[in-house]
């Protein structure tokens, strides 16, 4: 565990949260993916479990950061 200074307060960051943060910075706002075959993007980069949201406002599904990394490094096609 490490302490991260953010402005005037310190925040504890666990290994899992830090791992998600690193992936989030890599994939945040990336809309070069699909959810059930429709254009989508990864949102919730500060969350423990991000969502993949269809750009047309259709559906949204939560995934773990490791799952997001695996799909984004392969075919970029999320399935609900």
Q: What is the pLDDT of residues 66-79, one digit of tens each?
A: 898 899 899 999 99
DSSP letters, 11-63, are EEE-HHHHHHHHHHHHHTT---EEETTEEEEEE-TTSSS-EEEETTS--EEE-
Q: How does pLDDT run across 36-62, given as a tens digit for each residue?
A: 999 998 888 778 888 999 999 889 999
pTM of the model: 0.69
Whether pLDDT at 65 is above 70 = yes
CB 78 within 8 A of CB 34: yes
CB 35 within 8 A of CB 53: yes
Whether pLDDT at 26 is above 60 = yes
CB 41 within 8 A of CB 33: yes
Whether pLDDT at 12 is above 80 = no
Return the pLDDT at 66.
87
């Amino acid at each position: 565990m490490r302490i991260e200074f953010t402005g005037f307060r310190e925040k504890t960051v666990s290994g899992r949260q830090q791992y998600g943060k690193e992936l989030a910075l890599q994939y945040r706002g990336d809309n070069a993916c699909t959810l059930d075959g429709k254009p989508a993007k990864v949102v919730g980069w500060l969350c423990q479990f991000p969502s993949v949201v269809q750009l047309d406002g259709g559906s949204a599904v939560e995934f773990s950061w490791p799952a997001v990394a695996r799909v984004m490094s392969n075919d970029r096609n999320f399935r609900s």
